[in-house]
Chain A
Amino acid sequence: MSKEANSPARNTKVMNRFDLTSRLVAKLKNEEAVIGGIGNTNFDLWAAGHRPQNFYMLGSMGLAFPIALGVALAQPQRRVFALEGDGSLLMQLGCLSTIATLAPKNLTMIVMDNGVYQITGAQPTPAAEVSDIVAIATGCGLANSAWAADEEDFERLVEQSLSGSGPTLIAVRIDEKPGVGATRRDPVQIRERFMLGLGVRQAL
């Protein structure tokens, strides 16, 4: 959440992660894959209603976009969404360049930016006061990167990404509220159900 005077983030509304995640999930009609990053990001994905095409991370902070890139490369006909926190993305900024180079058309990245590590006690990130996630993404070569001004704009950007000619990054400013739910921490079942949901596996 940049407070820099000339940042486009300055004029964006502070929204809520669970509300935005619910709006996204409501739009999914074609078995789109959704990768939920560590912590609150996947807690809210879980709380928005479990889908067979959801994958929930229980560690490996910063890897939501790389995991989503792998799914997008493996299944180019399926739309893949990735939900990541700003602190998590800061751990793995290099992946934005990798994604810009490979340029998968079917990948939409959403950055939930509250400028803090909410889950560890809301300490500010090193980027909080100075960095602009969209400017970083654009500089990495992701031309379709934008701040969502409000909820309506977020929904519009999500829909626009469905027919995008390259990867899309949507950044949203969010409040410091914790996640609404708590993902069941069963990694094998999460992975197996995701593979069933993607049509890779058949149930026993």
Chain B
Amino acid sequence: MAAAEGKTSFKSLDEKALDEKPSREKAWHEVVLQTLKRNDIRLVPYVPDRVLTTLIKNLHADPFFTTFPTAREEEAVGIVSGAWMGGVRGAVLMQTSGFATLANVLASLAIPYQIPLIMFVSERGTLGEFNYGQSLVCRTMRPVLDSLAMEHHTATRLDEFEFIVDRSIKQAITTQAPVALILSPLLTGGKVFDK
């Protein structure tokens, strides 16, 4: 949304809104938290990312959620898969390079066992990336998702974000198929080289 309105600041629009406006739009991370809650998604393991900092902090602060770090992204996928089979819904948070470690677990657990794995991927590697390795690994993400015929959406605008998140969660659960929601720097502000 920030880019759509021609903002040049590295701070995303929703962060500016938090600072400046007394009555304001919800920030993207508030949309994620509230939409998870509305869909009764309680278990949120993650491997952290700078962009996800506020979301992770707020998940920890809310007793509705059981949220904790894991050592690897595929470990988190295993945990939410087990929890779903046990009757508790979950979602996994990660960054692009973490998604790149998941091809095997997607192809051997989530997809063939028909598990509604819900993933939020903070997108590094584009729109101002400063680390060449991140920009390279980012290019593997959508080809992997497409080669497995997985549902995925790239969220760029705050005004359609809640619709995308809510509908994608519901579709994953009802069709028992995984989904990846990619959080573009256009939505989050991303991570920039500032030192």
Interface residues of A (CB under 8 A from B): 33, 35, 55, 57-63, 65-75, 78, 92-95, 97-98, 101-102, 187-188, 190-191, 194-195, 198-200
* Shortest Cβ distance from residue B45 to the other chain A in the assembled complex, whole angstroms: 8
Partner of A35, one of B43, B66, B82, B84: B82
Asked whether B75 lies within 8 Å of A95 as measured between CB atoms, the reply is yes
Asked whether B75 lies within 8 Å of A94 as measured between CB atoms, the reply is yes
* Shortest Cβ distance from residue B66 to the other chain A in the assembled complex, whole angstroms: 7
Asked whether A95 lies within 8 Å of B71 as measured between CB atoms, the reply is yes
Give the docked Cα–Cα distance between A167 and B36 (Å): 29
State how many residues of chain B have any CB contact under 8 Å with chain A. 33
**With A92-B72, A188-B113, A191-B115 in contact, do A69 and B79 touch (Cβ < 8 Å)?**
yes
* Shortest Cβ distance from residue A36 to the other chain B in the assembled complex, whole angstroms: 13
Judge if B123 is at the interface, Cβ distance under 8 Å: no
**With A60-B74, A67-B81 in contact, do A73 and B113 touch (Cβ < 8 Å)?**
no
Asked whether A74 lies within 8 Å of B83 as measured between CB atoms, the reply is yes
Asked whether A190 lies within 8 Å of B113 as measured between CB atoms, the reply is yes
Give the docked Cα–Cα distance between A110 and B112 (Å): 26
Asked whether B79 lies within 8 Å of A73 as measured between CB atoms, the reply is yes
Asked whether B78 lies within 8 Å of A198 as measured between CB atoms, the reply is no
The interface bits of chain B over 16-57 (1 if a CB of A lies within 8 angstroms of the residue's CB, else 0) are: 000000000000000000000000000101000000000000
Judge if B85 is at the interface, Cβ distance under 8 Å: yes
Give the docked Cα–Cα distance between A187 and B107 (Å): 12
**With A66-B78, A70-B85, A74-B87 in contact, do A98 and B112 touch (Cβ < 8 Å)?**
no
